């Protein structure tokens, strides 16, 4: 071990040294436990924009990643987002750090080195903005290759899951009726909280079924809504989701449900969805198979680059799920645009006046119209005489 002097004579850390408790983030549910000033340890290959935004919003001091944050494989914008927000990102090649540190240990970061009690734990490589920009440019240039890979993986997924994709096999039918109703699927990512707030009017007017896809259920809770259905793997479902949601659909690739006693403790029936895939994709398939009229996705990737950020097999499943939903699936931003951008009232007033003028002109060219005009003229003339008469008598007096 190497001893490193971190402090001067005072108690404040030396310049360029960051100090804070390390917090382990192994899954999305761990984001809720983060606090401002934490130094976060993650394992996220090609760190995506969604996770970067979650880390920034949590106010973390720095991020340690035991996977390559910007490998040049996909055009991920997570590292550049962290850099722009002033959050240092350090790649750690040695995964032994997970066992060398304990969750909550106070550590020091200095030039990529991770130290505890003045002792070097592991050395890392800081990922600065120049490096992340270089990797991003390299990944964007290889986007065509990435699309070819997507096509191949999507074809393989369709062949393996043909029965489910064509006939809805293994997709459960839930008690909550979605038949001919709008359904909102909420994922925890990409401005989900903002988009959900913008849909307040749509939700109030249309009474949609609200589905929380994994951590997306927490987005609904924070916005003041109770999910009608929660879809996700058991490790992504918190006790609050199990306790407060209407129905719980547990996704599992093996067919086995871990810790079923958690569901029983909250009095929930076990509804399983046996399939590989993310919570978001399986929630969309669930809504489509249960005959939703329209599926509004909150928290969807906004661009092609962000859509392709994940591992190839996951991206392929995302693509196929959205392809199956077809025209039913719309993005929350599109719904918000269509329901809030109303026409100005001036054109309506102008059209109404133009219509009245057209009707008046049409009437005047008919015999009946001429008779009406003559009567109206006589009435106006008589009214004028009646009004002027008293004034004239007064003048004569």
Per the CB < 8 A criterion, the answer to whether 285 and 51 are in contact is: no
Higher pLDDT, 351 or 191: 191
228 neighbors 247 (Cβ within 8 angstroms)? yes
252-306, pLDDT tens digit by residue? 887 787 777 777 777 777 788 888 778 888 888 888 888 889 999 888 877 766 6
In a domain, 361, yes or no: no
Angle between helices 279-289 and 312-325 (to 10 degrees): 20
Q: Are strands 113-116 and 106-110 parallel, antiparallel or unpaired?
A: antiparallel
Is pLDDT larger for residue 160 or for residue 220? 220
**Alpha carbon distance 18, 41 (integer Å):** 14
Angstrom distance (rounded) from CA 283 to CA 296: 11
Residue 230 has which token pair? Answer: 């929660």
Residue 380 placed within a domain: no
Kindly give, in sequence order, each residue whose CB lies less than 8 Å from that of residue 346, ignoring residues fewer than 6 positions away. Answer: none
- Residues 222, 326 share a domain: yes
CB 19 within 8 A of CB 13: yes
Are residues 64 and 163 located together in one domain of the fold? no
Query: Which domain covers residue 51, as residue numbers?
Result: 18-137
Q: What percent of the chain has pLDDT over 70?
A: 75
**Residue that the structure tokens 């970067």 belong to:** 52
Is 50 exceeded by the pLDDT of residue 394? yes
Assess if residue 362 is contained within a domain: no
In a domain, 110, yes or no: yes
Domain boundary among 318, 340, 362: 340
pLDDT, average across residues 57-69: 93
**Region 208-218 average pLDDT:** 90
Q: 91 and 148, same structural domain?
A: no
The answer, yes or no, to whether residue 40 has pLDDT greater than 80, is yes
For the beta carbon of residue 316, count every other beta carbon within 10 angstroms. Answer: 22
Instruction: List, in sequence order, every residue forming a beta bridge with 119; answer none if it has no partner.
Output: 3, 116
Q: Are 113 and 220 members of one domain?
A: no
Q: Tell me if 56 sits within 8 A of 191, measured CB to CB.
A: no
Residue 356 has pLDDT above 70, yes or no: no
**Range from 38-42, 73-77, 311-315, 373-377 carrying the lowest mean pLDDT:** 373-377
The verdict on residue 197 lying in a domain is: yes
Choose the final residue of a domain: 69, 104, 137: 137
CATH number at residue 83: 3.20.19.10
Interatomic CA distance for residues 28 and 214, integer angstroms: 9
- On whether residue 152 sits in a domain, the answer given is yes
**Domain's final residue, options 81, 102, 137:** 137
On whether both 162 and 192 belong to a single domain, the answer is: yes
Task: Please check whether residue 285 is in contact with residue 319, taking contact to mean a CB–CB distance below 8 angstroms.
Answer: no
Within this chain, do residues 112 and 185 fall inside the same structural domain, yes or no? no
At residue 6 the predicted structure's pLDDT band, cuts being 50, 70 and 90, is very low
Shared domain check, 306 and 178: yes
| Least confident range of 69-73, 216-220, 230-234, 355-359 | 355-359
Flag whether 351 is in a domain: no
Higher-pLDDT residue of 93, 365: 93
Q: How many domains does the chain have?
A: 2
Residue 349: which pLDDT band, with cuts at 50, 70 and 90? low
Contact call for residues 69 and 78 (beta carbons, < 8 A): yes
Contact criterion met (CB below 8 Å) for 288 and 269:
no
Within this chain, do residues 158 and 300 fall inside the same structural domain, yes or no? yes
Compute the 3-state secondary structure of the chain and give helix, strand, coil in percent, each to the nearest 5: 50, 20, 35
Structural domain includes residue 244: yes
Taking residues 13-30, report their average pLDDT. Answer: 84
161/271 same-domain check? yes
Identify whether residues 133 and 147 lie together within a single domain.
Answer: no
Residues 255 and 299 in one domain: yes
**228-247: pLDDT as tens digits:** 999 888 888 888 888 888 88
What pLDDT is stored for residue 121 in this prediction? Answer: 93
C-alpha 191/C-alpha 218 separation (Å) is 14
Write down the pLDDT at residue 103: 93
Q: In what order do the strands lie in the sheet with 125-126?
A: 119-123, 113-116, 106-110, 18-25, 39-42, 62-65, 89-91, 125-126
Mean per-residue pLDDT of the chain: 79
Judgement on whether residues 186 and 281 belong to the same structural domain of the protein: yes
**Confidence class for position 148, pLDDT limits 50, 70, 90:** confident
Crossing angle for the helix pair 129-141 and 143-160, nearest 10 degrees?
60
| Per-residue confidence (pLDDT) for residue 239, from 0 to 100 | 83
d(Cα 73, Cα 146) in Å, to the nearest integer?
A: 8
Share of the chain above pLDDT 90, in %: 21
Query: Does 395 have pLDDT greater than 60?
Result: no
CB distance 199 to 332 below 8 Å? yes
Is the predicted pLDDT of residue 396 greater than 70, yes or no? no
Binned at pLDDT 50, 70 and 90, residue 4 comes out as: very low
Q: Kind and range of the H or E element at 151?
A: helix 143-160
Least confident segment among 178-192, 276-290, 304-318, 334-348: 334-348
**Residue 189 has what pLDDT?**
79
């Amino acid at each position: 071990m190497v001893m490193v002097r971190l402090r001067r004579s005072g108690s404040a850390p030396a310049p360029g040294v960051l100090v804070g408790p390390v917090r382990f983030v192994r899954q999305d549910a761990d984001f809720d436990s983060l606090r401002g000033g934490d130094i976060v340890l993650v394992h996220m290959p090609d760190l995506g924009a969604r996770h970067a935004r979650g880390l920034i919003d949590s106010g973390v001091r720095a991020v340690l990643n035991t996977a390559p944050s910007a490998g040049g494989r996909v055009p991920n914008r997570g590292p550049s987002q962290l850099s722009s927000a002033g959050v240092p990102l350090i790649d750690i090649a040695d995964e032994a750090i997970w066992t060398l540190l304990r969750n909550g240990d106070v550590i020091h970061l200095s030039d990529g080195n991770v130290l505890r009690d003045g002792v070097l734990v592991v050395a890392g490589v800081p990922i600065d903005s120049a490096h992340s920009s270089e990797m991003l440019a390299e990944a964007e240039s290889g986007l065509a290759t990435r699309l070819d890979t997507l096509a191949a993986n999507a074809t393989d997924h369709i062949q393996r899951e043909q029965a489910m994709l064509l006939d809805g096999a293994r997709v459960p039918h839930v008690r909550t009726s979605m038949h001919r109703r709008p359904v909102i699927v909420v994922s925890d990512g990409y401005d989900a909280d903002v988009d959900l707030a913008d849909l307040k009017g749509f939700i109030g007017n249309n009474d949609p079924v609200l589905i929380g896809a994994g951590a997306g259920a927490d987005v609904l809770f924070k916005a003041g809504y109770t999910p009608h259905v929660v879809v996700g793997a058991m490790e992504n479902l918190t006790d609050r989701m199990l306790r407060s949601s209407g129905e719980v659909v547990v996704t599992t690739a093996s067919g086995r449900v871990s810790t079923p006693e958690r569901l029983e403790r909250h009095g929930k029936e076990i509804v399983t969805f046996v399939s590989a895939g993310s919570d978001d994709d399986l929630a969309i398939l669930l809504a489509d198979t249960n005959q939703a009229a329209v599926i509004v996705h909150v928290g969807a990737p906004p661009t092609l680059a962000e859509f392709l950020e994940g591992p190839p097999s996951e991206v392929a499943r995302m693509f196929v799920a959205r392809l199956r939903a077809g025209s039913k699936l719309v993005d929350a931003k599109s719904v918000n645009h269509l329901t809030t951008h109303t026409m100005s009232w001036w054109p309506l007033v102008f059209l109404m006046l133009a219509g009245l003028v057209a009707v008046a002109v049409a009437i005047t060219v008919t015999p009946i119209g001429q008779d009406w005009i003559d009567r109206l003229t006589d009435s106006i003339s008589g009214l004028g005489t009646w009004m002027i008469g008293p004034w004239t008598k007064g003048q004569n007096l």
